[in-house]
Amino acid sequence: MISRRHWLPLAAALAFAPLAHAQGWPDKPVRIMVGASPGGGTDILARMLAEKFAPDFKQSVVVENRPGASNTIAAELTARAAPDGTTLLLATNTGQAIAPHLLKLKFDPLKDLVPVGLVAVMPNVLVVPATAPYRNVKELLAAMVEKPGSFKYASSGIGSTQHIAGEAFTLITNTKAIHIPYKGSSQAHVDVISGEVSMMFDSTSSAMSQIRAGKFRPLAVTAEKRSQELPDVPTLAEQGVRGADVTTWYGMYVTAGTPKPVVDRLVAELNKVLKLPDVQARIRGLGGDVGALSVEQFAEMNRQEYERFGKLVKDANIKPEGQ
């Protein structure tokens, strides 16, 4: 039996242990899992964060791309990783709020992944090849009506925000277009630029480079307001299409079971990085807004988005390809 004289130092040591663990963390390289291919919006943000984290972590921070299954491959790997805080996930609402209603997952994104913080919110933008003849949504819709079923739209995967935006657009406008899913936006870009695919409802974070290079022509922003980086591009609503507003948000998560002091440090480190002027400028340059929610508010937003998209998928009768 432990005497009170020995118990007090033991209790103090036990209470100090989690803090000491956080102070000694990380004791090995950190990886940021990304559910899309290199070059897309998620990858761009993940590499920016990795560069900023490395000096403070005093460890290498690498980005690991695991594209496919609507970003859920990377999410599952994070959910099943050792809960030591060295495997992070940069996810979007595709994997965290939409895909779970379309795919049979072997993990629960709301229980097996712990939120660290909202990184950015990006509007989606309807783009067509620069060589396309239409200059606005009215001209695009006229062509779609004239040749029903001949149009294709690309997305970064089944259940992605691009997929949902495309389904909403065709449903509301009573038009038809064939969905062509890819393993990431950057792969889809190749076929959009060549004209193999007619259009894409891409996030501004991945589309801006192609727009600036003159390879994409933006026709509409699929958000409530115009993008600061695309002030001359009207919203869908401004062009008579209401109800198809879809944005893409990016959030950081860590494996459930990670010690709270480590999670708290991750939250603090992310908040510190998001306040850096060059990081804020980079996110704005991608057409987005810097995440400004507390970790608790972000967790609640994720839950609400999960429920909202679940209802949308059901109401629009959206199903995985082949079903």
Q: State the Cα–Cα distance between residues 80 and 76, nearest whole angstrom.
A: 6
DSSP SS3 for 178: strand
What does pLDDT average to over the chain?
91
- Record the pTM: 0.83
Phi, psi for 248 (deg, rounded to 5): -115, 125
Determine the pLDDT at residue 322: 47
Contacts with 97 (C-beta within 8 Å, 6 or more apart), sequence order = 302, 305, 306, 308, 309, 310
Q: Locate tokens 């909403």: which residue?
A: 168
Q: Give helix then strand counts, H and E, for the chain.
A: 11, 10
In terms of C-beta density within 10 A (0-12 exposed, 13-18 middle, 19 or more buried), how is residue 64 classed?
Answer: middle
pLDDT for residue 40 is more than 70: yes
pLDDT at 16: 47
Which of 9-18, 36-45, 121-130, 161-170 is the least confident region? 9-18
DSSP 8-state assignment for residue 151: -
Distance CA(107)–CA(309), nearest Å, equals 18
DSSP secondary structure, 213-248, as one string = TTSEEEEEE-SSS--TT-TTS-BTGGGT--S---EE
Say if residue 11's pLDDT is above 60: no
d(CA 231, CA 225): 10
Task: State the Cα–Cα distance between residues 62 and 79, nearest whole angstrom.
Answer: 18
pLDDT at 7 over 60: no
**DSSP for 3-72?**
-HHHHHHHHHHHHHHHHHHHHT--SS-EEEEESS-TTSHHHHHHHHHHHHHHHHHTS-EEEEE---GGGH
Of 123, 105, 110, nearest to 225 (Cα)?
123
Confidence of residue 24 (pLDDT cuts 50, 70, 90): confident
What percent of the chain is modeled with pLDDT above 90? 74
Evaluate the omega torsion of the peptide bond into residue 26 and state whether it is cis, within 30 degrees of 0.
yes
Label residue 4 by pLDDT band (50, 70, 90). Answer: low
Pairing mode of beta strands 289-290, 87-92: unpaired
Does 21 score more than 80 pLDDT? no
What's the pLDDT score for residue 12?
47
Q: Which of helix, strand or coil describes residue 201?
A: strand
pLDDT band for position 273 (50/70/90)?
Answer: very high
The tens digit of pLDDT for each residue in 230-259 reads 999 999 999 999 988 888 999 999 999 999
Look at residue 3 in the predicted model and tell me its pLDDT.
Answer: 55
